[in-house]
A and B are shown apart, each in its own frame.
Chain A
């Protein structure tokens, strides 16, 4: 069951410029593993070498931050929309 993943501008270089990609997995962590197979390097931009979501990246399942759900173990299902959201500092 593919799940829609919205990719922010700063990571689109890793996914051939796409704004959304499809991924498979029962949890957010599995979904990222699946994306990594097709878009090498993307997982490392989101998850540290110890396997934790970086503190400066948020991943949402629909409109909820997985940090307040089950982190990378948060379940995903077909109709969910996953959003990757990096902090932006620009203002000028």
Chain B
């Protein structure tokens, strides 16, 4: 264990580093120690994962796990602020570890260079308190939703496309992704960011909301987005809130669930399985 991580007493340097948080009664020294003891998993070290990881590291979240099987591409750099021009071609989990380590050496960054799938997700999320979703495809979104519900973990969700974003927090028993979107669209109906484009600074807006939700959950303060979906339209500069609730007929979290273990999510979404990047 690195010196200063999860201490019983904050060091003078830690008190200085986190002073703008600690000075607020909603955080305080006790809250800072909760942050330093917290373990958060980010699914994706890309557009959303970048700002989330930066703010969680800056806040001193003790352990940040990153799941991403990709390497940095030049086309990522328009928005994925975890990675530098010199990182092109490197695994994203490695460049992310460097960036976060430079920002806050007290944070332990755990890289999972993998594509999340039914056979590894439960083992990976078991080590974390909260999961933050920045996945870029529907199979992973349903997979992470179901896994978090089965494991009883809060899931801080965000998604982006073009100039629009959505964010919410799924707390077990208070509605899940399937309550909001019961089934995925057929392949090709909703384009991906790669196909349609995504406005770079939009990632920060939605990612910042996800970081905020995560830190509030760790500190146990404020009201989460559970039961509410935040919609952001960057072109109109319009923020709106829609309500959702647990669907009693939800196949996963409903009253009579029909899905009680992980399924084949590529088949569920009608798409071919992702190909893991060779190490």
Contacts and interface: CB of A to CB of B under 8 A. Distances in A.
A67 to B, nearest CB: 8
B253 to A, nearest CB: 15
Contact of A92 (B134, B138, B244): B134
Given A63-B243, A83-B240, A92 B46 contact: yes
Contacts of A55: 181-183
B208 to A, nearest CB: 14
B159 A90 contact: yes
Interface residues of B, number: 51
Contacts of B181: 55-56, 58, 87
A88 B242 contact: no
B124 interface: no
Contacts of A87: 138, 159, 180-181, 184-185, 190
A85 interface: yes
Given A83-B242, A92-B47, A56 B189 contact: yes
Interface in A1-34: 8-10, 19
Contacts of A88: 159-161, 164-166, 190
Nearest to A20: B236
Contacts of B235: 9, 19
B185 A54 contact: yes
A6 B26 CA distance: 37
Interface string B75-113: 010001000000000000000000000000000000000
A78 interface: no
Contacts of A68: 245, 247
A90 B192 contact: yes
Measured as residues with beta carbon below 8 angstroms from the partner, the interface class of chain A is 20 to 34
A89 B136 contact: yes
Nearest to B159: A88
Given A9-B163, A91-B133, A86 B185 contact: yes
Contact of B243 (A9, A45, A65, A90): A65
B52 to A, nearest CB: 10
Given A56-B184, A87-B190, A63 B231 contact: no
A89 B242 contact: no
- Which residue, A67, A83, A87, has most C-beta atoms of chain B within 10 A? A87
Given A55-B183, A85-B231, A64 B164 contact: no
Contacts of A89: 135-138, 141, 159, 161, 184, 190, 192
Interface in A52-88: 54-58, 60, 63-65, 67-68, 83, 85-88
Contacts of B135: 89, 91-92
Contacts of A64: 242-243
A90 B136 contact: yes
Interface of B: 43-44, 46-49, 70, 76, 80, 133-138, 141, 158-166, 180-185, 189-194, 196, 198, 229, 231, 233, 235-236, 240-245, 247
10 contacts: A54-B183, A56-B181, A56-B182, A57-B185, A86-B185, A87-B181, A88-B159, A89-B136, A90-B47, A90-B198
Interface of A: 8-10, 19, 45, 54-58, 60, 63-65, 67-68, 83, 85-92
